[in-house]
Structure 1
Amino acid sequence: MNIYINARFLTQSVTGVQRYAIELVKHWDQLLEESRDDREQFSITLLAPRKIIHKLELKHIKVKQTGTFGGHPWEQLVLPYYARKGLLINLCNTGPLLMRNQIVTIHDMAVFEYPKSYSFLFRNAYKIIQKALGIRALRIMTVSKFSKSQLMAHCRIKENKISVVELGKEHMQRLEPDREWLNHHQLAKQNYLLAVSSMNPSKNFSNIVRAIEMLEGVDYQIVIAGGTNGKVFSAAGLPHSDKVKLLGYVTDRQLKALYEGAACFLFPSIYEGFGLPPLEAMTCGTPVIVSRSASLPEVCGEATIYCNPNDPTDIASKISQVMKDTHLRQSLSVKGLERASGFSWEKCARQSWDVVKEVVQA
């Protein structure tokens, strides 16, 4: 049985979606190492455009680069030709519209819920693609019960066609933190609040800054990582704050150092299909404040402090509550580590591989 994986993600920068795809493929390769029966039954190939930027060390999954161009045209025109004699697995929200023999992971319905976060062409293209795949694909995988309910509401996908497979956290455990970089930025351990935010409106950057402006006489630093450069405060319509140390883009090793050194992690996002950053923070033992929105309560359970993402006053209050109470932070750290232990890429891989085999055997 030929199984092909849409590996367009190997040409893209890593966000949560690409992280999921990379970790899943690596752990599927490990499952094949453990199962001779699966190795004999399935031939698995990553189909990718020519210009890949991530190279995975795999023993049992082949990589084949195809076509002369990339992006959506490659995915819609080249990919289905090379995958025509097998089952195609798409892990990053999209797939070729002309194929039926495929499985698709759709992580969220952000283009439906928060269309203003995306360009006109992007959001409308994704709406068409995701609705069509919901109808044509043999099975849909998603990352939370919340996202499953969204898929059913926006794309009218039948409940029994959707499988929920949660993400993992071992990628954060494997990283060696870049503590020298932390020292370079003069960030003392346990003496700063950390937030990770992009300019996507659903990440709630504006209310993070408004909440921070309400904090008076704080004796700790406030650090925001993320975005494409250090000029995000000057973007139109966003508040400015002299209280914030803005780091811009950080590497994975730098991010782990930030998590481990922070007294608290703040993530008041309005919309998340899963919410990987809070899970990463809990994995590092960092106390977490998140919004009681979308999938975040499903992921974080009782291991965090919740805030109202639409109320900067409440966000500021929760920051003060956590930062002033050492015992609360210690309790949240223990609860977060325990909560994070229930998530793993190995479990994600086994559950999703079971979905693949169910489709093959149907």
Structure 2
Amino acid sequence: MLVFDGIIFSLQRSGGISVLFLELFQRLHKDLFQVINFNRELDYGIYRKPRILERFRDFKLESPCALFHSTYYRLPEAFKGPVVTTVHDYTYERYFGPVRKFVHSWQKNRAIFGSEKIICVSESTRADLLYYTGEKYESRCVVIPNGVSTEYHRLASFTPTSQVLFVGARAGYKNFKALVLALSTLPDLRLAVVGGGAFTSKERGFLEAHLSNRYAHLGYLSNRELNVEYNRSFCLVYPSLYEGFGIPILEAMRAGCPVIAVRSSSIPEVAGDAAYLMERGDPCEIRAALDFLNSSPNRAEFIRKGLERSAQFSWDRTFDRTLAVYEQLLGHQLMERE
């Protein structure tokens, strides 16, 4: 029995980490695994822990378990079998204050130190891990890139509008303000924001000052709904200064939506030459990138490259490589490959 702790589904409403594990669960035979969940109800026969504070500490496994894989840096008590940890990024270590950084890093490092295998979602994240924890863990690391859902695809019935799309959280390093300032000088373009929570009063004030009547928050969207927005958008601007991976880049590319992003961390690794990559991601660079895409031949070329690039990533590949890690640790095959 493979056991996952399901912690991530208590910690985030949506995001790349929860997407990754849901994609894995959908592909595992149901009699092979159990997920111990702590808060939200999920599918796949997940057992629910009644005490929400359990998510903040180690716990005892309550069923026979051959291998344990935490969704977010936890360890089971007194477990003698192999443990797998997936490391997604080093955002806390780079950008958060001392208390949150210390707690998160302590917990993450305990999981890393106690794991037989450490899966990194990108070469960039692997490099960060070795920088923060030391080269001695290199032999335990394996890079398994995230995938992208097949629900993202081109829709023949849509033509691009003047909408510029921003997807995800808007914290400082996500560089959201730079996009707003760039768009403030381009009155023909509108901003659409997906996810990341409702606008705060401070954000609304900033948006009103720079993009009055030219912005909207579309809320949390399903894959199909988000696919429509990618298809109708002039482009996705993904100005983040740091990412562990960057799934929205691939989603947009699969949907035929050109991508503007910053040449930093994992982003060149994911985007290849199929996105317009800026060096700094400041408002002037973002405006120059938008002007460049406004040329029909340039935009069409990035669409073509994006479709080719995104085809190199899939959740099936991610699953197959993750399953191979489990089988290597257990010493036997778990499932027939389709």
Answer whether contact 1:27 1:345 (CA < 8 A) is retained.
no
1:46 to 35, 53, 63: 35
Q: Given the alignment of the two structures, is residue 219 of structure 1 paired with residue 204 of structure 2, yes or no?
A: no
Q: Please report how far the alpha carbon of residue 357 of structure 1 lies from its aligned counterpart in structure 2 after TM superposition.
A: 1.1
- Show the 5 A alignment for 1:171-320: 171-173=150-152, 189-215=160-186, 218-231=187-200, 233-234=202-203, 240-242=209-211, 244-252=214-222, 253-320=224-291
Answer whether contact 2:193 2:219 (CA < 8 A) is retained.
no
Q: Which amino acid aligns with 1:94?
A: Y
Q: Please report how far the alpha carbon of residue 90 of structure 1 lies from its aligned counterpart in structure 2 after TM superposition.
A: 1.5
**CA shift in 2, pair 1:357/1:270, >3 Å:** same
Alpha-carbon deviations, 1:272-313, whole Å to 9, x = none? Answer: 000011110001011111110110000000111111334221
Question: For 1:144 and 1:239, how far apart are their aligned partners in 2?
Answer: 37
Q: Given the alignment of the two structures, is residue 28 of structure 1 paired with residue 28 of structure 2, yes or no?
A: yes
Q: Secondary structure of the residue that 1:112 maps to in structure 2? A: helix
- Any gaps of 5 or more consecutive residues in structure 1? 33-38, 57-62, 183-187
Q: Secondary structure of the residue that 2:2 maps to in structure 1? A: strand
Q: Secondary structure of the residue that 1:81 maps to in structure 2? A: coil
Paired position in structure 2 for 1:129: 107
Alpha-carbon deviations, 1:208-261, whole Å to 9, x = none? Answer: 11222233xx43333333332244554788894225412152312332211011
Question: For 1:248 and 1:338, how far apart are their aligned partners in 2?
Answer: 28
Question: For 2:151 and 2:46, how far apart are their aligned partners in 1?
Answer: 28
Q: Given the alignment of the two structures, is residue 103 of structure 1 paired with residue 72 of structure 2, yes or no?
A: no
Paired position in structure 2 for 1:35: none
Answer whether contact 1:228 1:248 (CA < 8 A) is retained.
no
**CA shift in 2, pair 1:162/1:232, >3 Å:** farther
1:90 to 70, 73, 77: 70
Question: For 1:282 and 1:309, how far apart are their aligned partners in 2?
Answer: 22
Alpha-carbon deviations, 1:300-340, whole Å to 9, x = none? Answer: 00111111334221111111111x21111111111101000
**CA shift in 2, pair 1:235/1:123, >3 Å:** farther
**CA shift in 2, pair 1:355/1:285, >3 Å:** same
Paired position in structure 2 for 1:358: 328
Q: Please report how far the alpha carbon of residue 48 of structure 1 lies from its aligned counterpart in structure 2 after TM superposition.
A: 2.1
Paired position in structure 2 for 1:344: 314
Q: Secondary structure of the residue that 1:195 maps to in structure 2? A: strand
Paired position in structure 2 for 1:161: 140
Question: For 1:214 and 1:82, how far apart are their aligned partners in 2?
Answer: 59
Q: CA RMSD in A?
A: 2.8
Q: Which amino acid aligns with 1:316?
A: R
Q: Secondary structure of the residue that 1:147 maps to in structure 2? A: helix
**CA shift in 2, pair 1:224/1:3, >3 Å:** closer
Answer whether contact 2:61 2:76 (CA < 8 A) is retained.
no
Q: Please report how far the alpha carbon of residue 159 of structure 1 lies from its aligned counterpart in structure 2 after TM superposition.
A: 1.2
Question: For 1:230 and 1:126, how far apart are their aligned partners in 2?
Answer: 26
**CA shift in 2, pair 1:208/1:88, >3 Å:** same
Question: For 2:40 and 2:168, how far apart are their aligned partners in 1?
Answer: 27
Question: For 1:338 and 1:85, how far apart are their aligned partners in 2?
Answer: 41
Question: For 2:91 and 2:63, how far apart are their aligned partners in 1?
Answer: 28
Alpha-carbon deviations, 1:183-219, whole Å to 9, x = none? Answer: xxxxx7333222224232121111111222233xx43
Question: For 1:205 and 1:132, how far apart are their aligned partners in 2?
Answer: 33
Q: Given the alignment of the two structures, is residue 70 of structure 1 paired with residue 52 of structure 2, yes or no?
A: yes
Q: Please report how far the alpha carbon of residue 85 of structure 1 lies from its aligned counterpart in structure 2 after TM superposition.
A: 4.3
Question: For 1:190 and 1:357, how far apart are their aligned partners in 2?
Answer: 48
Answer whether contact 1:204 1:269 (CA < 8 A) is retained.
yes
**CA shift in 2, pair 1:238/1:123, >3 Å:** farther
Identity among equivalent positions (%) equals 21
Question: For 2:165 and 2:48, how far apart are their aligned partners in 1?
Answer: 42
> Size of the alignment, in residue pairs?
325
Answer whether contact 1:230 1:248 (CA < 8 A) is retained.
no
Q: Secondary structure of the residue that 2:229 maps to in structure 1? A: helix
Answer whether contact 1:103 1:138 (CA < 8 A) is retained.
yes
Q: Secondary structure of the residue that 2:27 maps to in structure 1? A: helix
Answer whether contact 2:130 2:138 (CA < 8 A) is retained.
yes
Q: Secondary structure of the residue that 1:126 maps to in structure 2? A: helix
Q: Secondary structure of the residue that 1:249 maps to in structure 2? A: coil
